[in-house]
Structure 1
Amino acid sequence: MDDIFADPPEWQERALCAQTDPEAFFPEKGGSTREAKRICSGCEVRSECLEYALEKDERFGIWGGMSERERRRLRRQAV
């Protein structure tokens, strides 16, 4: 699997999450995703982030304002 930190996509430098606490985007099981989603809602690269997570099949964390469960649902609807 690619290491996103070895050669991060250009859009990641502009992501709001890069300027905040990463723990908000990887909550413990059952933890709140509200803060991460709030940050994502104002991010200019939200769509690039979501596209990346779907393409890389990210299994953990909030990407593009969506949890893994929400991304899974989105994938199923697209099929």
Structure 2
Amino acid sequence: MQTPHEPQWSTAVPSPRLRRDLAGPWHSEAACRRDEAGLFFAPSQEPTAARLSREAAAKSVCARCPVLLECREHALLQPEPYGVWGGLTAAERRVVLGRRRRRQSAEAA
């Protein structure tokens, strides 16, 4: 059970049926494909308020994306160390990966 302080990010793995191999790679359908990359990646020495605002804007693009789960899983499997991918920041992805590792360790025990 999560505490009230823990964000509730999905760690769902996309079903193979969600793959879009016939239509091309999943990223061809991404909502962000036409957005400026600067929205998803921090400029150097970005002030905290600006970073939070930029990340919120990036996440709003992700929220409407038809391939959000594929993007998120890509970022978790790579793992992508920077930027907003699949609606999660790099720090949020580290939390998800840590939870997965702990769950896998518990299942193996």
Q: TM-score normalised by the shorter chain: which range applies? A: 0.7 to 0.9
Structure possessing the higher radius of gyration over alpha carbons: 2
Offset, 1:41: 0.3
Alignment size in residue pairs: 71
Matched, 1:50 2:65: no
- Alpha-carbon separation, structure 2, partners of 1:56 and 1:41: 21
CA distance in 2, matches of 1:18, 1:25: 11
Q: Which runs of 5+ in 2 are unaligned?
A: 1-23, 102-109
CA distance in 2, matches of 1:34, 1:63: 12
If the length of structure 2 is used for normalisation, what is the TM-score? 0.61
**TM-score, scaled relative to structure 1:** 0.83
**Unaligned ranges ≥5, structure 1:** 1-8
CA RMSD, aligned part only? 1.3
The percentage of counterpart residues that share the same residue type is 32
Runs of at least 4 residues off by over 6 Å:
none
Which residue matches 2:83? 61
